[in-house]
Amino acid sequence: MSAVRLLRVPVLLCLSHVWLCHGACVEVDSDTEAVAGQGFKLSCISCKMRGEVPASATVDWWFMAKGESEFTHIYSYAEMSSYILDDHFDDRLAWDGSKKTYDVEDGSIYILNVTFNDTGTYRCLFDRMLIFPYYEYRTTTVKFITLNVVGHATRGMASILSEVMMYVSIIGLQLWLLVEMVYCYRKIAAAGEEALRESEAEYLAISSEGKDKCAGVPVAE
């Protein structure tokens, strides 16, 4: 048991070190199902790999409705300024990303009052300029999100499986702890019985030795 605890220490230190190094920006996929009449966040995160290099970034969003074949430019964000570029989304799009002035890493937007006409494919484009002492390097990141608008919230199969796996893990951990407790109890009980037997044998040996000594002493008449 002590060896296991000792092994956990470097593992926890490594995990904490990784969190400190990479915890500032984590790229996650956007949800893909929205409920009509409610709000919905289109997530688009692009972490900068060279964190020590100054940079500037702009974010643009395009939308292609279901059944159509071309994207329409609907939203643009640059240096704390945002613009809705499509009448279909007038007063329904809001910036929900990073609050930094220049180099944003979270370019998410929020749709207010989702409609069924919002079903389709969204394209997020990060245009980032890395500024080195003697030159500039431009990078682009493109992400696609296929959004389906439904009348009522539904639970996807992935969500159900995740919940089942969580409960299975909890039950498995509890069973493992129970087995460990039983094992340790038996080890302790066996060690106690062994120590008791040794004490009893030692006591009997001392008693026998005392009797032998008494038997060898002559009795005065």
Integer Cα distance of 168 and 151 in angstroms: 32
**What pLDDT, on a 0 to 100 scale, did the predictor assign at position 3?**
41
Same domain, 104 and 39: yes
Same domain, 124 and 76: yes
If the chain, 221 residues long, is cut into consecutive pieces of 10 residues, what is the mean pLDDT of each piece?
A: 42 40 71 93 90 91 94 93 94 92 91 95 95 92 95 71 83 88 85 78 68 57 53
**What pLDDT, on a 0 to 100 scale, did the predictor assign at position 24?**
63
Same domain, 174 and 193: yes
With 0-12 / 13-18 / 19 or more C-beta atoms within 10 angstroms meaning exposed / middle / buried, residue 40 is buried
Same domain, 167 and 133: no
Same domain, 161 and 89: no
Integer Cα distance of 74 and 125 in angstroms: 12
**What pLDDT, on a 0 to 100 scale, did the predictor assign at position 49?**
79
Same domain, 162 and 148: no
How close are the terminal C-alpha atoms of the chain, in Å?
A: 65
Per-residue tokens: 167: 């409960």
- Look at residue 13 and tell me if it is in a domain: no
Integer Cα distance of 55 and 52 in angstroms: 9
* Cα angle: 149, vertex 154, 148; to 5 degrees: 20
pLDDT in tens, 24-67: 688 888 889 999 999 999 999 999 878 788 999 999 999 999 99
Range of the domain at 164: 155-206
**What pLDDT, on a 0 to 100 scale, did the predictor assign at position 153?**
78
Number of domains making up the chain: 2
- Look at residue 16 and tell me if it is in a domain: no
Same domain, 136 and 74: yes
The pTM of the full predicted model, rounded to 2 decimals, is 0.60
Same domain, 198 and 136: no
Same domain, 61 and 165: no
